[in-house]
Amino acid sequence: MRPVPADEYQHILLGILKAFSGYCAENGVKLLLCGGTALGAVRHGGFIPWDDDIDLYIDREGFEKLTGLAGEDPYIDGEKRYKIMLPAVFPSVNPFFNVVDCSTVAYQKNISKKYAAGVWIDVFCLSFWADNEKEARRQYRLNRFYRNMNKIIIGGNYRDRKYRILEAFAFPVRGLLLLLGMNSEYWCRKMMALDRYRSGEYVGNICWPDGFEKERYRAEWFAEDEDILFEDLHCRIAKGYDSILKNFYGDYMTPPPEDKRVRHDPEAFYLD
């Protein structure tokens, strides 16, 4: 294996996005840019310069269709370079889809290397929150609990000092949870089960929210979508992107200071 140079990482991500976009177009699955990818398209015309991931939304219909397609054949190209990883199916540790480049491997910080797969992009289901705010907050609290339990299960490859210290306490808890059958797949399915509403006034990433207020959007903001360029690829974005990005980032057109710029920093390698 040889390391993926930092200046090649975004090129790999864009290759995954292009292959996956074509696959979804062929199969009638609509993709929307979201998170930092939507922000990058609006503010930079492509990648945020320091970003190292791609985030996409699909709706419930697309989620179910993609689950069926990937269950039959996870590869999206004839060369079998690009593969869909189903949520809550080993080696995935997530309640959402990942699409990976099988010519690479990426080790995520604070996640055991036994769960490693290729350089990836994230594909989230755009779901409905409960209209009742009290119940919606309960959805969010349960997600945080399940997510923290999942972190205990998948912990490893620690690069953050606080996690190395906590491992002494997490190790016996992990053993007990695994003994009870509460592995990563179990906790991911618990997160996915929170997505149980099929209509409502508010939508968001129920299975993997970054925050309650900032990721609880008015459904009307997603009622229509439009074309936008991401690098040299034509993509779709919700027409209400201004409201969405303001809700999530605040003054999204002003880049954050360097010490607030979020990166995943995986250790990525080309497979020989």
The pLDDT value recorded for residue 99 is: 98
Per-residue pLDDT at 163: 76
Q: Is residue 166 part of a domain?
A: no
CB 233 within 8 A of CB 16: no
pLDDT computed for residue 116 by the predictor = 96
**Which residues are 234's β-sheet partners?**
229
The answer to whether position 162 is within a domain reads no
Query: Per-residue pLDDT for 160 more than 80?
Result: no
Average of per-residue pLDDT across 266-272: 93
Distance (Å, rounded) from C-alpha 216 to C-alpha 222?
Answer: 12
| Contact criterion met (CB below 8 Å) for 191 and 112 | no
Domains in the chain, number: 1
11, part of any domain? yes
Looking at 26-30, 143-147, 162-166, 252-256, which range is the least confident one?
A: 162-166
Q: What is the arithmetic mean of pLDDT over 228-254? A: 97
pTM of the model: 0.95
Residues 185-231 have pLDDT tens digits of 999 999 999 999 999 999 999 999 999 999 999 999 999 999 999 99
| Cβ burial, residue 156 (10 Å; 0-12/13-18/19+) | middle
Q: What is the CATH number of the domain that holds 240?
A: 3.30.460
Q: What angle do CA 143, 188, 140 make, to 5 degrees?
A: 10
What is the per-residue pLDDT for 61?
A: 96
- Tell me if 170 is assigned to some domain: no
Mean pLDDT, rounded, for 231-248: 98
Asked whether the beta carbons of 84 and 92 are under 8 A apart, the reply is no
136 lies in some domain: no
Q: Range of 199's domain?
A: 2-131+184-270
Tell me whether residue 158 is in a domain. Answer: no
Average pLDDT, the chain: 96
- Count of CB atoms within 10 A of residue 270's CB? 16
Give the pLDDT confidence score for residue 175 in this predicted structure: 95
pLDDT given for residue 72 in this prediction: 97
40-70 pLDDT, tens digit each: 999 999 999 999 999 999 999 999 999 999 9
pLDDT tens per residue, range 94-142? 999 999 999 999 999 999 999 999 999 999 999 999 999 999 999 999 9
Distant-in-sequence, close-in-space partners of 121: CB < 8 Å, separation ≥ 6: 13, 16, 17, 20, 53, 54, 55, 56, 98, 99
In a domain, 156, yes or no: no
What per-residue confidence (pLDDT) applies to 165? 81
Share of the chain above pLDDT 70, in %: 100
**Structural domain includes residue 83:** yes
Looking at residue 20, what is its pLDDT? 98
Give residue 202's Cα distance to chain centre: 20
